[in-house]
Amino acid sequence: MHDTSMSKKTVYISRRARFNAAHKLCNPDWSDEKNREVFGKCANANWHGHNYELHVTVMGVPNDDTGYCMDMKTLSDLIKEFVEEPLDHKNLNLDVPWMKGKRTSTENLIIEIWNQLEQPIQEYNCALHKIRLYETENNYADYFGGN
């Protein structure tokens, strides 16, 4: 016999992950002087890097049999496959096909991470709700999808 008393309740579950990557901010349409002026030390020609911290939030209704919206192991595996594998210990400007030609700002990076994760998560009766990405302990971005 199943416990059905809470089957219609939406819960948001989140998984934290991390990746370490190099990048620089650089607009190829601009001179070095303008890049340095706009992006400051983030434009350093030989790159710099970060320990990025990612929080992926999924919404769903807990399953009666498991008590899970989605198995955290599954969510962790999806993040490994679609985010950590392509980004960890990589150069965000050079090594990541889906960041090619884009400024590797936290804003653009979080939008593209959303695009990688949205479909795979939908196959598990859950919906991607929010992504948070910390570039440093003082700077982070949140994204809820766009339209």
Is 48 part of the annotated catalytic residue set? no
Cβ(117)–Cβ(79) below 8 Å: yes
Catalytic: which of 37, 81, 85, 89?
89
Question: Distance (Å, rounded) from C-alpha 57 to C-alpha 13?
Answer: 5
Is 126 part of the annotated catalytic residue set? no
* Residue 120 Cβ vs a second copy, minimum distance, rounded to whole Å: 19
Which CB sits closer to a second copy, 110 or 128? 110
Residue type, 14: S
Residue type, 111: I
* Residue 141 Cβ vs a second copy, minimum distance, rounded to whole Å: 5
Is 135 part of the annotated catalytic residue set? yes
Which CB sits closer to a second copy, 81 or 107? 107
Distance from the Cα of residue 67 to its chain's centroid: 26
Which CB sits closer to a second copy, 110 or 117? 110
Catalytic: which of 26, 42, 50, 85?
42
Task: Report the alpha-carbon angle 74-123-68, nearest 5.
Answer: 50
Q: For residue 40, what are its two tokens? A: 């400051």
Residue closest to 26 by CA, chosen among 98, 84, 94 = 94
Catalytic positions are 42, 89, 135
